Chains A and B, each alone.
Chain A
Amino acid sequence: AQKITQTQPGMFVQEKEAVTLDCTYDTSDPSYGLFWYKQPSSGEMIFLIYQGSYDQQNATEGRYSLNFQKARKSANLVISASQLGDSAMYFCAMRERPNNAGNMLTFGGGTRLMVKP
């Protein structure tokens, strides 16, 4: 079974509008961390936002927020006020047992977001 599923291979959004990128995950570990990374066409992986499984509130970082629904095992990324520079691939990733830094991140297949002017 896939540990991280991103069901939207591609999405369009109008500039200045909000967009939600879906991510569902599968783990039996009660302690885990969820991450979103952005990969522009230049190829680098840029960290956006983190949510710990025990965090009481949804994470926010500027225009990025994470809609964390633990019972549904979803961690959707919400980008408000989209900008042209937001056009990129977006990857959801999970680390189980987040306090052990030796543990790996498992990535989803990514969603390509295209912002229309």
Chain B
Amino acid sequence: EPEVTQTPSHQVTQMGQEVILRCVPISNHLYFYWYRQILGQKVEFLVSFYNNEISEKSEIFDDQFSVERPDGSNFTLKIRSTKLEDSAMYFCASSDWGSGANVLTFGAGSRLTVL
């Protein structure tokens, strides 16, 4: 079954460092998303991406965040200068346009720990 793959599974970084989280969405999907989940809290939307541009973003997605689709397969989330409060599980997801339900398929997540 097609899946969304994320790397790394866990990253530890120092506060102020740049982090790039990588995702390979399902190959025929056109819409890509990043969500995050701070430990013990609910899953929060960060950003959605379609046709090589951001289609929607939340208040969390401020100037320190950026997304990119550098080639035909990867979708990345960059955090320019990490803060302690960026520690969370980051989920990539993708969806296609064809189904009415338009189900998001999530990856297994990348756990980011900022020290």
Contact = CB atoms under 8 A, between A and B. Distances in A.
Interface of A: 33, 35, 37, 42-47, 50, 52, 91, 93, 95, 98-99, 101-110
- Chain B's interface: helix, strand, loop or mixed, by majority? strand
Interface in B3-61: 30-31, 33, 35, 41-45, 48, 50, 55-56, 58
Contacts of B33: 104
Interface of B: 30-31, 33, 35, 41-45, 48, 50, 55-56, 58, 89, 91, 93, 95, 97, 100-109, 111
B106 to A, nearest CB: 4
Contact of A44 (B31, B97, B107): B107
Contacts, number: 68
Contacts of B107: 44
A98 B101 contact: yes
A101 B50 CA distance: 9
Name the 8 nearest CB pairs between A and B, nearest first. Answer: A102-B55, A104-B45, A45-B106, A44-B108, A50-B101, A107-B43, A101-B31, A109-B42
